[in-house]
Each structure stands twice: as structure tokens, then as C-alpha cells.
Amino acid sequence: MNRRRAWHAIAVVVAIALLAACATGGRSLDREIDTLMRDYTGDVPGAAVLVLRDGAPLVRRGYGLADLEAGTPATPQTNYRLASVSKQFTAAAILLLAQDGRLRLDDKVRRWLPDLPPAAADITIEHLLTHTSGLVDYEDLMDPADTRQVHDADVLSLLAAQDRTYFPPGSGYRYSNSGYALLALIVERASGLRYADFLRERIFRPLGMDATVAYESGISEVAHRAYGYSFENGAWRRTDQSTTSAVLGDGGNYSSLDDLAKWDAALYDERLLKASSLQAAFAPHTATDDPQVRYGYGWRITGETLWHSGETIGFRNVIVRYPRRHLTVVVLTNRNDPEPYALAKKIAESVLRP
């Protein structure tokens, strides 16, 4: 009996020690991430960090400020301009319409956008999705003296006047914001809905992403909005919008950690996209200009990770997913530098470290 009691006492001590070790490990992870995020702490443009493991948040917090002038702190509900992280939503919209039978990925783009010049005759929707269209970058066609914001329809007008491409479609890769602006217009033509409305009705609302929006000045509002900043001449200056910020298909969404957690969950099952559509989105369809990276539909593929960054004036963001490990890291920032991809990878390494 005494021996049995002794073993029981030892077991209790061991259990308490293990629980303490787990708690210490959790605090250690918090400290590691806080250390990695130290440059975003204080009265400076901040960041929001989300770490999901098996669908549960290990880390979910904001650093620094979402609005310097108002002194508003960054929180998990703060909505950041996603920039090119938005491309995965444009790709999902196209895949939903393909599931509906409203379009095919091998459709010629001029079927939907006949204003495009003859040089674009052989470009397909899939070429747009994978940045293999060869379309000219619309940013290079804009009048630098014109300070008005361009919209997706303006991108089409700019491209319609250019009867040339960088290369024959399908023969190369060149990252193309032009292509994703055209995809947004195709969503509108195929669905009969405005692009922002389609995203809201078919993606955001069904997933409960109630604060996520394809932002249109004068039409929609961004709740808990982060404003973008750039560090210039030793001080932070608000640089929230540029002449390209109103183009929606390539980067116009605002979202938060909490809403992106819902998006991430939907990528593990068929609540939104069929398994075949998800498989197509995550397949490495083409090589890129980085030998370590291939491209799917709105996703970069590097080894076991699916990821995409987003850079626009005043914002730098990234989402990195490890599907086989059920691990996702999201870093959203409202400053012009640095790009947070390397930071997100370090955060993931901290989580995966034994």
C-alpha cells in the first residue's frame, strides 16, 4: 500500500511538472514572438499576428498602432489592406463560377472581354490565374502626371490600347496585376454581380467574414481600419492610398486576423470550394522567376507551404500555410517596410521547434 501511494505521489509530481513545462513552453513561445515583433511595438505603425494550429489560435494579437494620429492600437479585429494576398479571393471567385458552370478555365479571355486587342486572342482564364498571360503591366501604362485612381475597368481600357504582350501566352511567367484586374471583370460579366458584391455574397458572408470587404471609396466602409504609413526623413508619414489602390481584383480587400482564421478553416474542407477546386488552386501549375517557388491559382507553393505576400503603399502582409501540419501563420502590417515573409517563417519555426 505504501509503495502504491509512493508511486501515486510520484505520478502527481510528474504530472504537475509536465503541466508546468507546457505552461512555460507557452510563455516561451509568446516571448519568442514578442521578441520577433519588437520593432512593431509602441507608438509606431503596428502589426497583427495569428498562429493557427489544428484550427485553434496559439497566438492572436496586435502590436503597435493601427492609426497613429488617433492613437488606435492594433488588435485581432483590425482590418488591413491585404494587397496581393487578395488574389486568392479573386481566384476563389473564378473557381466558384467554374463550379457553377458559368465559365471554364480554358475560356479565351476575349470571350468575356472583347475589348482586348488581337495580341490577347490566345490568352485563357487559366493564363490569368497563373501569371502566364504575358499581359503588359498596367502600372507601366499609367500617365504619371495623372493623380486620379484607376479602377479595374480602367485597366481594361489601358490594355485595350496595347496590341502587344511580353511573350506568347503560356510560354513564360511574369507576375501580373493586370491579369487579376481582368479576372475581377470576368467575375462581373459571368455572374451579373459587381465584383465586390460577388465576394461578399459568395465568399465573405457564407464564411462569416463579416468585416472583410473589397473596399470602394464612397461605397463601402472599413471597420476597425488600419491606415498605411511610410518612414520618410526620420518620421512616419501616412501613405494609405496610391493611384492603383482602387483596383480590386489584384489587391483591394481589407481583412483581419479573426476573419482570415475563418478563411483558413474553409480551405481544409468543402464548405466553400469543392475538393477538386481546392486541389487545382494549390497545384504547382507553373515555375516562377524564383527556382524555389511555383504558382497555383492565387497561391505560391514552396516545398510544403502555400503562401502569398501582399505589398502596397503603406502595407506589407503575408499568409503562410503548412496544410499537412495544420499550421498557418498570418502577419499583417501597416507600414511600407519590411516585407514580413521571413518573419512569418521564423514564427513558424518557433512553433515547430521541438
The Cβ-side half-sphere exposure at 227, using a 13 Å CA radius, reads 13
Beta bridge partners of 72: 67
Cell 514578442 appears where? 34
pLDDT at residue 15, rounded to an integer: 36
pLDDT at residue 27, rounded to an integer: 52
Question: What is the end-to-end Cα distance of the chain in Å, rounded?
Answer: 38
State the cell numbers at 129. 490565374
pLDDT at residue 354, rounded to an integer: 81
pLDDT at residue 28, rounded to an integer: 86
Per-residue pLDDT for 296 more than 90? yes
Count the neighbouring beta carbons within 10 Å of the beta carbon of residue 341: 21
Per-residue pLDDT for 129 more than 80? yes
Which amino acid makes up residue 201?
E
**Domains observed in the chain:** 39-352 (3.40.710.10)
Which of 19 and 134 is assigned the larger pLDDT?
A: 134
Per-residue pLDDT for 23 more than 50? no
CB 225 within 8 A of CB 254: yes
Per-residue pLDDT for 10 more than 90? no
Per-residue pLDDT for 17 more than 80? no
Beta bridge partners of 213: 254
Which amino acid makes up residue 278?
L
pLDDT tens digits, one per residue of 201-253: 999 999 999 999 999 999 999 999 999 999 999 999 999 999 999 999 999 99
Helices within 169-274 (DSSP H only): 177-191, 195-199, 257-266
Mean pLDDT over all residues of the chain? 93
**122: CB partners within 8 A, 6+ apart:** 108, 168, 169, 170
Helix axes 2-36, 341-352, angle to 10 degrees: 170
CB 165 within 8 A of CB 137: no
Interval 46-66 mean pLDDT:
97
